[in-house]
Amino acid sequence: MTVPEQTADVRGESRREGAGKGRRRIPLLLALAAAAYAVDLGSKLLVVARLEHHAPVEVIGTWLELRVMRNPGAAFGMGGAMTIVFTLIAAAVAVVIARVAGRLYSAPWAVALGLLLGGALGNLTDRLFRSPGGLRGAVVDFISVHGFSVMNLADWAISAGAALIVLFTFCGWELDGTRRRSEEGPIQP
């Protein structure tokens, strides 16, 4: 068995030669994206059919309720007049993930990107097909956390995926399954 040699790339960072080879994780990314999308779409269809135009359903007192709201904006109801911008951002996220998927050999990155893609597609579906339509559709939000926000499962998937991406980037984990290390050692706080 041979040990991969260390080489320095143009940024002065060392990498293991031959690392990242193995199985691409595109099927995992797609499976998680499809699952996140299906759960989000199914939950929205269910709450619109059963809970819209009804009193909120208390799950944990008034701290956590199911309360259907239509949100033309972004998280926390911000940017209601910028619905088209949010639609284009969601579409851009899907395109970027599709472009980087060819370099994806890391299972953790596949999980993060799958959650992000599934959530983006869930909210994009609302923007395209819910009233008033034409890239201006309002997203169905229904998970109300007292004093915080009203969200949906796509928002939770996006948040979890984004948090994982920040973590993996901070830890130096690459899409190809390698770990980036600086010649100067770890970053000091």
Please provide the size of the chain in residues: 189
Looking at 9, 40, 126, 141, which residue is catalytic? Answer: 141
Q: How far is 18 from 12, CA to CA, in rounded Å?
A: 18
What is the spatial distance between Cα 186 and Cα 110, in angstroms, rounded to a whole number? 25
Contact predicate 90/11, CB 8 Å: no
Paired with 71 in beta bridges are 139
Report which of 43, 23, 69, 56 is spatially closest to residue 157, judged by C-alpha positions.
Answer: 43
Q: Are 178 and 15 spatial neighbours (Cβ–Cβ below 8 Å)?
A: yes
Among this protein's residues, is 155 annotated catalytic?
yes
Q: Tell me which residues are annotated as active site.
A: 141, 155
